[in-house]
Amino acid sequence: MKPLDILSIKVKNNFINVENFFVFEIFYEVKKILKKDFELKITYVISPNDKKQDQELGVFLISAKKLGKFKMPITVHPPSYFNFVLEKILGITIILLDFRYENKEFIRIGYYINNEVDLEKKDFFETNNNFDLKYIIRKILVNQPRITHFPFLFDDF
């Protein structure tokens, strides 16, 4: 039996402007008390071909020192789009939530994101060739997470 399970993740704000914060709610269960907290690292993947462009949006320590089921709200800044061309912002990308214990990954949950021009503003965006982030909507494909479990021994369990 694993001492820790990630039960679910809810995206609390979806279909919003790309400049807005990401807001998640993490549901997890501690079945056996761990010696240390576990870590959540959130990464925004700009380009699948160049890891150097990935942006770490936040790292959080989450307590595993009490038995039970818990939920934790997580809010992170959006990525910095400074110096990015429009083609790098629009289209499909990924956000990764990596859960680690003692610097070893035990589960990775990835969501595809589709950034597109707001349909109501599309004509203005195209006719004025106006590259303004306020016209770009972020849509997280919450029903299609990519979940990878890694073999892991927690505190010699």
CATH number, domain of 59, equals 2.60.40.1490
Mean pLDDT, each 10-residue run in order, the chain (157 residues): 91 95 98 94 88 92 96 96 83 96 94 87 58 88 95 70
* C-beta atoms surrounding 104 within 10 Å: 12
What pLDDT is stored for residue 72 in this prediction? 96
Looking at residue 150, its amino acid is F
On whether the CB atoms of residues 55 and 42 are closer than 8 A, the answer is no
Q: What is the pTM of this model?
A: 0.89
Domain range for residue 20? 4-149
Domain annotation covers residue 157:
no
pLDDT attached to residue 155: 62
Residue 155 domain flag = no
Taking the C-alpha atoms of residue 91 and residue 113, their distance in angstroms, rounded to an integer, is 8
R_g of the chain, CA atoms, integer Å: 18
Domain count, the chain: 1
Instruction: Report pLDDT for 124.
Output: 57
53 lies in some domain: yes
Q: How far apart are CA 100 and CA 146, in angstroms?
A: 17
- What are the angstrom distances between the C-alpha of 27 and each of 11, 55, 85, 100, 123? 12, 24, 36, 15, 41
| Token pair in block for residue 39 | 């870590």
In a domain, 94, yes or no: yes
Residue 154 covered by a domain: no
Q: Please give the Cα distance from 15 to 142 (Å, whole number).
A: 11
Is 156 contained in some domain? Answer: no
